[in-house]
Chains A and B, each alone.
Chain A
Amino acid sequence: KAGVTQTPRYLIKTRGQQVTLSCSPISGHRSVSWYQQTPGQGLQFLFEYFSETQRNKGNFPGRFSGRQFSNSRSEMNVSTLELGDSALYLCASSLATSGSYLDTQYFGPGTRLTVL
C-alpha cells in the first residue's frame, strides 16, 4: 500500500503570497491531520479533517486554512505569507474507523516551505 504522499516536497514563496499544499492519505484512511514543524516552535498541530469536516483545530491564525475532499485528499492553504511561516508542513492520515478518535497516524515526508 502506498504511504502518505505530499506535494510539492519543496516550495519557495515570497512574503505576502499565498500557498496551497496537498496531501494524499493512505488508501482507505478517512482522517487527515496537518502539523507545522519549525526549529523554534517544534511540532505544532494545525487541524484535523474527517469526512470533509474539520474536527479539531490548533492555535493558528485564520491565514491557515484547510479542506478535505470526498476522496479524503486534503489541502491546506496559507494566505499572506510571513517569514515565520517557513517550516516543514507534515500531513498524517489514519483509518478513523467508525469515527473512532484514536487510530495510529501515518506521516508523510512533508513539504518544506521557505518564505523569502
Chain B
Amino acid sequence: AQSVTQLDSQVPVFEEAPVELRCNYSSSVSVYLFWYVQYPNQGLQLLLKYLSGSTLVKGINGFEAEFNKSQTSFHLRKPSVHISDTAEYFCAVSENNAGNMLTFGGGTRLMVKP
C-alpha cells in the first residue's frame, strides 16, 4: 500500500520569499502525484498533477513541483509567495490501478507573514 509523508506540518515564510513544501511517498507500483490546496472552510482545489512525461510540472497560482523517482519525492515550490497563499497544502498519490482513490499526506500549513 502506498503512503505519503509531508515532512513539515507548518511552514512560516515572509511575503515575496520563496517556499518549498516537501512531499515523499512510498509505493511498490507506478503512481500519479498531486498537490491540493485547502483554504479555510473550503474544499480542496487542485494545484497541479504529475501523470507522466516531464518531471517538472507547472500548476496554478505560480506553483510548480518536481517529480524525483529515485528519491520518491514530489516537492512543491513557489519563487515568491503572497499573503493569499496562506492555506493548507496536501500532497496525494494514486496508484495507477487504483482509480480515483487518493492517499493524502498529513498536510502542510503555509503561513505567509507580511
Contacts between the two chains (Cβ within 8 Å), count? 66
Q: How would you classify the secondary structure of chain A's contact residues: helix, strand, loop or mixed? A: strand
Q: How many residues of A contact B (CB 8 A)?
A: 27
Compute how far the CA of A44 lies from the CA of B101 in the bound complex, rounded to whole angstroms: 9
Task: Return chain A residues, CB-CB under 8 Å to B46.
Answer: 104-106
CB distance from B95 to the nearest CB of A (A): 10
**Contact A109 B99, beta carbon cutoff 8 Å:** no
Task: Return chain A residues, CB-CB under 8 Å to B28.
Answer: none
With an 8 A cutoff between CB atoms, is A43 at the interface?
yes
B103's partner among A33, A45, A50, A92 (CB-CB below 8 A) is A45
A105's partner among B96, B102, B107 (CB-CB below 8 A) is B102
With an 8 A cutoff between CB atoms, is B35 at the interface?
no
Q: Mark B18-35, 1 if CB is under 8 A from A, else 0.
A: 000000000000001000
Which positions in A face B, CB cutoff 8 Å?
4, 31, 33, 35, 42-45, 48, 50, 55-56, 58, 90, 92, 94, 96, 101-110
